[in-house]
Chains A and B, each alone.
Chain A
Amino acid sequence: AAGVIQSPRHLIKEKRETATLKCYPIPRHDTVYWYQQGPGQDPQFLISFYEKMQSDKGSIPDRFSAQQFSDYHSELNMSSLELGDSALYFCASRGGMNEKLFFGSGTQLSVL
């Protein structure tokens, strides 16, 4: 069965650079969530989209933005990167009114 696809798997950036993370949800899933997970931490909710509209906003910094496109894939854009942005970034998708959330393998971002 198709799963949530994230790219890239690993990303190394320097401070003040920008990064774009991509997420392709499970087919026919209309809701996408972005989470940030620091080492030894639980996933922290950043932002979500339902039918291409932002539906919820969590602890996403103003330096970050995201959108969901017509094919339901989503991109997380990160600017003015800081050392503290180094983390695993997960995308998850959900379909219809089903509460089950399915996660991708994540993008490991390292800011040097």
Chain B
Amino acid sequence: QKEVEQDPGPLSVPEGAIVSLNCTYSNSAFQYFMWYRQYSRKGPELLMYTYSSGNKEDGRFTAQVDKSSKYISLFIRDSQPSDSATYLCAMTRISGNTPLVFGKGTRLSVIA
């Protein structure tokens, strides 16, 4: 079993829809959680970063962490065609230089 599980999709939604992306993880040592957006053949771009359970909001994006369930989510409100990309969850342990462990990524298409 991979340390981080993420449904690869693809996920297709109409413009304006609310999108919910999710990851589960098995290692309780993970304390820092990130969501990256990756356009085709481009480098992953950091979208959201959080380290505590609860919600963190940034514009149309909300990151949610439930450490007791080992479950994280990214919500996208009022989705736009420009949101079409692959979304990767990533997480790391508490010590400073440990590498990120990624989910497989969910491919999202927002249809105009």
Contact = CB atoms under 8 A, between A and B. Distances in A.
Most buried by B among A56, A88, A97, A101: A101
Interface residues on chain B, size class: 20 to 34
Given A41-B104, A88-B41, A108-B41, A100 B99 contact: no
Interface of A: 4, 31, 33, 40-43, 45, 48, 50, 55-56, 58, 88, 90, 92, 94, 96-97, 99-106, 108
B65 interface: no
Interface of B: 6, 8, 32, 34, 36, 41-46, 49, 51, 88, 90, 92, 96-105
B64 to A, nearest CB: 18
A39 B102 CA distance: 15
Most buried by B among A31, A40, A96, A103: A103
A52 to B, nearest CB: 13
Contact of A102 (B6, B8, B32, B46): B46
Contacts of B32: 99
Given A42-B88, A90-B43, A102-B46, A97 B99 contact: no
Contacts of B103: 42
